[in-house]
Amino acid sequence: MTASQLQNSGMLSREQLLYLFTRFSDLISQPDVKQRIVDAVNEKQEAVAVTTAIQEGIFLEMGVVQQVGDGIALACYDMTAYPRFGISCLGKVNLVYENDQDLMMRFYEFVADEEMACDEAELGPDGFAEKIRNQQELEGQQLEMLTHMRKFHLDDQSAILEKLHQEMENADFVSEASVLTSEQIEGIVRRRVSPLFSPR
């Protein structure tokens, strides 16, 4: 690949991001790659350092690099000089593509895939299985909460979501704070001075 074929400025296109997300998902599902992350954790390295290196490798495949002085750094020659251009673009996805709902969903799946790969390596099989069970239980509770919320008027739903956000903020956004019980929801609605209180 010549210097003229390498991208080192601007923002990654939608197609480039989708390629990254798909390729990354394929790679981290392979047993040898999973083992590479586990080995890194066993050697007291950060799992995320391995997943970042995998992403950097994909960017290199794509010809996405960073200008360094008057030249271009290529990972195949010196991994320590590998550019962070592609990685830095990931930090801007929310801003640049905020109105592209499909791409944003794929982006969040990509982030979740990376988090799961790291958790699986760091927690081991038993710890990871327990985390998945807890997560599924929490998702069930959240779904139950949302279903209950829908029985109320939109103004009441807004008040409930505002209270939920407050609760999460106060708890430093821990997952457990992302659920309100039916009693809490009804208490919020009762406290509102609203003629529209009656559940549907």
Of the ranges 11-15, 36-40, 169-173, 190-194, which one carries the lowest mean pLDDT score?
190-194
Contacts of 62 (CB under 8 A, 6+ apart): 7, 16, 19, 20, 86
Question: What integer best gives the mean pLDDT of the chain?
Answer: 82
Burial (CB count <10 Å: 0-12, 13-18, 19+), residue 28: buried
Is residue 130 over pLDDT 90? yes
Going 73 to 79 to 85 to 86, the CA torsion angle's sign is positive
CA distance 19 to 100: 16
Is residue 39 over pLDDT 90? yes
Q: Smallest Cα–Cα separation from 107: which of 119, 89, 93?
A: 93
The whole-number pLDDT of residue 199 equals: 52
As given in the structure block, the two tokens for residue 66 are 């960073």
Residues 142-179 pLDDT 10s: 899 999 899 998 988 898 899 888 888 888 877 777 88
| pLDDT band for position 61 (cuts 50, 70, 90) | confident
Are 120 and 34 within 8 A, CB to CB? Answer: yes
Contacts of 96 (CB under 8 A, 6+ apart): 11
Please give the model's pTM, rounded to 2 decimal places: 0.66
Half-sphere exposure (Cβ direction) of 168: Cα atoms closer than 13 Å: 13
As given in the structure block, the two tokens for residue 69 are 């002085």
More confident of the two residues 125 and 194? 125
As given in the structure block, the two tokens for residue 150 are 């829908």
3-state secondary structure of 68: strand
As given in the structure block, the two tokens for residue 40 are 């890194």
Own/partner long-range contacts of 178-187 (Cβ < 8 Å, ≥24 apart): 178/138, 178/142, 179/138, 179/141, 179/142, 179/145, 180/145, 181/145, 182/145, 182/148, 185/145, 185/148, 185/149, 185/152, 185/160
Is residue 190 over pLDDT 90? no
The whole-number pLDDT of residue 108 equals: 94
Instruction: Give the rounded percent of residues in the chain with a pLDDT score beyond 70.
Output: 82
